[in-house]
Amino acid sequence: MPIKQLPVELANQIAAGEVVERPASIVKELVENALDANATQLTIDIDAGGAKRIRIRDNGSGIAHDELALALSRHATSKIADIDDLEAITSLGFRGEALASISSVSRLRLVSKPATQPEAWQAWAEGKDMQVRIEPASHPDGTTVDIQDVFYNTPARRKFLRTDKTEFSHIDEVIKRIALSRWDVDITVNHNGKRVRHYPAVREQQQAHLRRRLAKVCGSSFAQDALYFQQQTHDMQIEGWLAAPEQCRYQGDVQYSFVNGRMMKDKLINHAIRQAYESFLTAERVPTFAIYLKLPADQVDVNVHPAKHEVRFHQQRQVHDFILQTVKQLLFAHNQSQIDHDAA
Instruction: Give the residues lining the site for Mg ion (CB under 5 A).
Output: 33, 93, 98
- Run of H or E including 86: helix 83-87
Stretch that binds ligand ADP, among 96-104, 160-168, 171-179, 297-305 (CB under 6 A): 96-104
Q: Are 69 and 123 in contact (CB under 8 A)?
A: yes
Residues 6+ apart with CB under 8 A from 239: 228, 229, 230, 231, 291, 292
User: Which segment (14-22, 70-78, 133-141, 246-254) binds ligand ADP by CB under 6 A?
Assistant: 70-78
Q: Which residue among 15, 19, 42, 99 contacts ligand ADP (CB under 6 A)? A: 99
Give the three-state DSSP class for 218. Answer: helix
62 binds, among ligand ADP, Mg ion, none (CB under 5 to 8 A by kind): ligand ADP
> For the window 273-292, what string marks contact with ligand ADP as x by the rule CB under 6 A?
--------------------
Which CB, 22 or 95, lies closer to ligand ADP? Answer: 95
Pairwise CA distance, residues 60 & 63, whole Å: 9
Does 62 sit near ligand ADP (CB under 6 A)? Answer: yes
Q: Is 71 in the site for ligand ADP (CB under 6 A)?
A: yes
Cβ(264)–Cβ(319) under 8 Å? no
DSSP assignment of 166-177, as one string? HHHHHHHHHHHH
Distance CA 145, CA 45 (A): 10
Distance, in Å, from the CA atom of 318 to the CA atom of 61, rounded to the nearest integer, reads 38
Does the CA dihedral 306-35-218-341 come out positive or negative?
A: positive
The CB-of-299 to ligand ADP minimum distance in angstroms stands at: 21
132-161 mask for ligand ADP (x: CB under 6 A)?
Answer: -----------x------------------
Q: Which residues bind ligand ADP (CB under 6 A)?
A: 29, 33-34, 37, 58, 60-63, 71, 77-79, 93-100, 143
